[in-house]
């Protein structure tokens, strides 16, 4: 098994495996909410996968699946007129609807979401939203007495999708591999920031149109790119939407630098004469964990 096969097998192993179960649950939630709020039994209308699953950058073993569900505008006007925290009241109404389907599961409403937790460890986090003319969404935030906020996930999903195609399908695997590193090294960085940095990096990477055979260089160069980010920077602009993506100062650069150095060692083993394949793979496993082939 050569270098390209190592990375191909690795990328395949971290793909989300049970998309069928996820789809079944997503449709059940959508059908329930459509029944109660739109007088239709559609299991697809008014809902959208968002977050890492919506951007197709989630990996096997992820815990939180984010989705939005669009509510009729009349409900916004009703709950906006409440004298005290109409946002919390709206979340409770959505929670009550979902409990009709998941009466034996844990269904809670907190802050900005209604969530249902399943026994396999996946939690569906449903954000009730109202569609704006510009294509963004208004959603309730019950914190600090209640307010309305705005999110715009569709341009983020499209931007990642389009750049992935432009870069020969290499952006999404990079985002997933970095998530595997994040998990293995307990890196304090959010998923949207991972995707944002990968999105920015890959367009300037000279081998963005190549194949798995270049993935060792892609990982090495991306770790170098992450390590070089200004440690005093607190936010970046997300692809597509331009929304601020926050991260505490200097939280990921040190671990990125360490793994850049480990990647250099791995590549040194790969290019030795004779090649030290086992040693190279152990270095990649040090970075990415046991999902990387041994």
Q: How many other C-beta atoms can be found within 10 angstroms of the C-beta atom of residue 249?
A: 10
- For residues 223 and 255, membership in a common domain is answered with yes
pLDDT tens digits along 8-26: 999 999 999 888 999 999 9
- Residue 83 clears pLDDT 90, i.e. is over it: no
Instruction: Identify whether 294 is part of a domain.
Output: no
- For residues 248 and 140, membership in a common domain is answered with no
pLDDT, average across residues 26-34: 97
What integer pLDDT is reported at residue 134 of this predicted model? Answer: 84
- For residues 78 and 189, membership in a common domain is answered with no
- For residues 117 and 55, membership in a common domain is answered with yes
CATH number of the structural domain spanning residue 50: 3.30.460.90
Q: Which of 97, 120, 151 is at the close of a domain?
A: 151
pLDDT tens digits along 180-194: 999 999 999 999 999
Quickly state the pLDDT bin for 262 (edges 50, 70, 90): very high
Our measurement of the distance from residue 51's CA atom to the centroid of its chain's CA atoms, rounded to an integer in Å, reads 4
What integer pLDDT is reported at residue 1 of this predicted model? Answer: 62
Query: pLDDT averaged over the chain?
Result: 95
pLDDT tens digits along 146-177: 999 999 999 999 999 999 999 999 999 999 99
What integer pLDDT is reported at residue 104 of this predicted model? Answer: 67
Quickly state the pLDDT bin for 110 (edges 50, 70, 90): confident
- For residues 59 and 85, membership in a common domain is answered with yes
DSSP state of 138: E
- For residues 89 and 59, membership in a common domain is answered with yes
- For residues 66 and 181, membership in a common domain is answered with no
Count, residues in the chain: 294
- For residue 68, give its domain range: 19-151
For residues 288 and 142, give the distance between their C-alpha atoms in angstroms, rounded to a whole number: 38
The pTM (predicted TM-score) of the whole model is 0.94
Whether the CA torsion 82, 88, 94, 98 is positive or negative: it is negative
Instruction: Identify whether 241 is part of a domain.
Output: yes
* Secondary structure of residue 227 in the 3-state scheme: helix
- For residues 181 and 275, membership in a common domain is answered with yes
For residues 43 and 31, give the distance between their C-alpha atoms in angstroms, rounded to a whole number: 4
């Amino acid at each position: 098994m050569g270098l390209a096969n190592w990375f191909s097998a690795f990328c395949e192993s971290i793909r989300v495996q049970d998309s069928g179960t996820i789809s079944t649950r997503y449709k059940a939630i959508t059908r329930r909410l459509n029944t109660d709020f739109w007088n239709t039994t559609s299991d697809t209308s008014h809902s959208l996968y968002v977050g890492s699953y919506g951007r197709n950058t989630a990996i096997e073993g992820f815990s939180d699946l984010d989705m939005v569900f669009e509510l009729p505008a009349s409900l916004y006007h009703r709950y906006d007129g409440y004298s005290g925290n109409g946002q919390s009241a709206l979340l409770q109404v959505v929670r009550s609807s979902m409990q009709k389907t998941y009466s034996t599961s844990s269904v809670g409403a907190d802050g900005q979401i209604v969530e249902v937790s399943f026994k396999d460890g996946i939690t569906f986090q449903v954000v009730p939203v109202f569609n704006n003319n510009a294509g963004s969404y208004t959603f309730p935030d019950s914190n600090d007495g209640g307010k309305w906020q705005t999110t715009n996930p569709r341009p983020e999903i499209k931007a990642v999708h389009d750049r992935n195609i432009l870069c020969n399908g290499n952006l999404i695997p990079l985002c997933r591999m970095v998530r595997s590193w994040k998990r293995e090294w307990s890196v304090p960085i959010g998923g949207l920031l991972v995707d944002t940095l990968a999105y920015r990096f890959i367009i300037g990477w000279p081998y963005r149109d190549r194949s798995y055979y270049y993935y060792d260089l892609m990982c090495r160069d991306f770790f170098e790119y992450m390590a070089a980010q200004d440690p005093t920077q607190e936010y970046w602009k997300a692809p597509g939407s331009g929304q601020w993506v926050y991260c505490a100062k200097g939280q990921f650069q040190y671990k990125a630098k360490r793994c850049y150095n480990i990647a250099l060692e791995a590549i040194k083993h790969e290019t030795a004469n004779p090649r030290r394949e086992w040693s190279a793979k152990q270095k990649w496993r040090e970075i990415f964990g046991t999902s990387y082939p041994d």
